[in-house]
Copies of this chain bind each other. A is one copy, B any other.
Amino acid sequence: MTGPDLRTIYRHYLDCLNRRDWASLGQFVDDDVSHNGRPLGLSGYRDMLERDVRAIPDLRFDIELLVIEPPVVASRLRFDCAPSHTFLGLHIDGKRIAFTENVFYTFRGGKIAQVWSVIDKTAIEAQLS
Contacts and interface: CB of A to CB of B under 8 A. Distances in A.
A50 interface: no
A71 to B, nearest CB: 10
A117 B103 CA distance: 11
Given A67-B69, A68-B67, A69-B69, A74 B120 contact: no
A8 interface: no
A64 B36 CA distance: 13
A12 interface: no
A interface secondary structure, majority: strand
Interface residues of A, number: 24
Q: How many copies of this chain are found per oligomer? A: 2
A100 B116 contact: yes
Contact of A104 (B73, B102, B119, B125): B102
A9 interface: no
- Which 10 A-B residue pairs are closest in the complex by CB-CB distance? A74-B74, A102-B102, A67-B74, A102-B118, A118-B118, A118-B120, A67-B69, A121-B121, A67-B72, A67-B67
Given A65-B104, A67-B68, A118-B120, 11 more contacts: A64-B116, A65-B116, A67-B69, A67-B72, A67-B73, A67-B74, A89-B122, A100-B118, A102-B104, A102-B117, A118-B119
